[in-house]
Chain A
Amino acid sequence: MNAHAAATPTELSGIELAHPIINGSGTFDAIAARRVFGDALIGQFPFAAFVSKTVTVAPREGNPPPRLWETPGGLINSIGLPNKGLRRYLAEDLPELAALPVPLIVNVMGFTGDEVVELVSAFSVRDEVAALELNVSCPNVETGLVMGADPGEVTALLRRVRPLTEKPLIVKLTPNATDVVAVARAAQDAGASAVSLINTIRGMALDPRTGHPWLGGTTGGVSGPAVRAVALAQVHAVARGVGIPIVAMGGVQNGRDALDLIMAGATVVAVGTESFRDPAAGTRISRELAALCENSSISRHGTPLNC
């Protein structure tokens, strides 16, 4: 079997994927990329599913610049979830994203339980949407707690929204939690179809000329190979704590990194920051992963490998 054929189809909560590599939410804008690369983007689409940037109920302009800071082996971003808001996303972006050659996973975030209900309800009835990913890395303005940092918050949220849709619900875990495994268990027990991790790790940089915070949002999220070891440890721990599928991400740059996360328990691996360096990185990584799986002594010795 050649490397291409070895890009084995994968299944995630009933969604059929041509291979196990997708994108992390907010790391690839397929609509902008279509403007830049034209039809080549569609013909050579690098991911087996497309995960949208976070959609909120109200439009958001995002954080003031500067929004980026390069770190050793990574970057800190303070983007602030800019998006058109639910109404314009449904009218303008969803039809364009539905034309992509892969399943669409829409990432949503609400600042209250009611907002999450509104978002899940709106997308639940859209056939273009294969699954929903819940971004719970924000504070609940009613309780002041970061939803994804507290198992009780996650349980309460899932109990409200799980009955609203038959689509798979993926809970995007934040690494900025005391006990990520407890949050993952809470998500599973309240009906989450899968969990995805890790989101970015909170970080900060100071302007060397002023000593004041560089980023317009004061702090930001660290991503890239700098966080890969953290991601591997958290995926490994969560995989031992839950039975639902895991979408793993964090600093994946090549097929070896993806295979590590799969060996640690992931079903699907997402690429984020590496796409900034090479827009077609997803294609390269899925090929490298397929070749590794084909040649891997691990797979030949019967260890379950989902790649």
Chain B
Amino acid sequence: MSAEQRVRRPLSADSPARRPLSAGSRVLAPFSRRAARVLERRVYGAYVVLRCADPDGPRPRAGQFYMLAARRWGGGDGERPFLPRAFSVLRSGADHERAFLIEDVGPGTHRLCELQAGEDLLLVGPLGLGFGAPEDARRPLLVGGGVGIAPLAIWQDELGGASALVGFRDAPRAEGARLLADARVATDDGSVGHRGLVTDLLREELDGDAHATVYACGPPAMLESVRVLCAARETPAQLALESGMACGFGACFGCVVPTRRGYIRLCVDGPVVDAAELETAMVAGMGH
């Protein structure tokens, strides 16, 4: 290829030459931040589900995420929030409806939880790479922890059903299990379902039949446990990771996580990552 041809070649999409870190794919996002009217705010125990209308946005893939903000943004605890917050899409309904699962853990999520029907969410998305189909006719097995159950709900919808194991801290949070069909529940305090960790349930499942593809999203310690359990049984796993993110579209380089190939930006090369690419799922810097 001549230099001139190289110069005139359009910008490439995801390079096919490089084996992706994620089995998933993306739907392109409109190039703008747009308003999505909140249609319904529903409380599930400790969580809020915002269902909104996104008439100008495409249907996302399961596992993709959006950057969310509200019109009045700032002025909360510590004069925050300033940046938008990243949320995996919980559900994508008919008529361009999208739903997001939110737990009030800081100034950004607090403000989002305040939104009522009729107000606007400001969103950019869908972003990132979503889940990929199960390999080799393996059964899909969904493992979620806390607010991390969100991308598993839309994936369960798209798969037409899949076994789901979900773990929560306590009974108010375990209300979130209602967002998935036929989920087995574990709680730290034993108030609902199995007393203990969701990974106890995963171990039991895989010991019964390891011919599965595991899809997991949750806190770093849970994901690391999933990674280790699956690696020991050579069970493929796709992990939806979380990292502090400013932009969501590759601009800020803030959301990197270490992989066997070096740092990747979770927003453009994830958030769904093949577990085999990770030495650890313990992502630094969560919780601010």
Q: Which A residues are within 8 Å of any B CB, using their own CB?
A: 26-38, 40-42, 44, 53, 61-62, 64-75, 77, 79, 82, 95-96, 98-100, 128, 209, 214, 216, 224, 273, 275-280
Contact = CB atoms under 8 A, between A and B. Distances in A.
A40 B56 CA distance: 14
Interface in B54-110: 69, 74, 78-84
In the A-B complex, list the 9 residue pairs whose CB atoms are closest, starting with the nearest: A66-B285, A32-B250, A72-B79, A276-B247, A68-B254, A278-B33, A40-B31, A95-B6, A38-B28
A75 B243 CA distance: 15
The secondary-structure label for the interface of chain B is loop
A63 to B, nearest CB: 9
Given A79-B252, A216-B284, A70 B31 contact: no
Contact of B246 (A31, A34, A61, A68): A68
A37 B14 CA distance: 12
Interface of B: 6-14, 26, 28-33, 69, 74, 78-84, 124, 127, 243-247, 249-258, 262-263, 265, 268, 283-285, 287-288
A68 B127 contact: no
23 contacts: A31-B250, A34-B11, A36-B26, A36-B268, A62-B253, A64-B284, A65-B263, A66-B285, A67-B253, A67-B255, A67-B285, A70-B81, A72-B79, A75-B246, A99-B10, A99-B11, A209-B287, A275-B247, A276-B246, A277-B82, A278-B33, A279-B124, A279-B251
Given A68-B252, A216-B284, A40 B30 contact: yes
Contacts of A277: 33, 69, 82-84, 247
Contacts of B263: 61-62, 65, 82
Given A27-B251, A72-B80, A79-B253, 4 more contacts: A32-B265, A65-B258, A68-B285, A279-B31
Given A35-B250, A69-B288, A214-B285, A278 B7 contact: no
A36 B80 CA distance: 27
Contacts of B69: 277
Nearest to A128: B7
Nearest to A33: B249
B28 to A, nearest CB: 4
A37 B79 contact: no
Contact of B13 (A28, A35, A72): A35
Contact of B251 (A33, A216, A224): A33
Nearest to A226: B82
A35 B255 CA distance: 17
A32 B247 CA distance: 12
Contact of A214 (B79, B82, B84, B288): B288
Contacts of A27: 251-252
B268 A280 contact: no
B118 to A, nearest CB: 22
B13 A275 contact: no
B251 A96 contact: no
Given A35-B268, A276-B247, A99 B7 contact: yes
A72 B251 CA distance: 21
B60 to A, nearest CB: 13
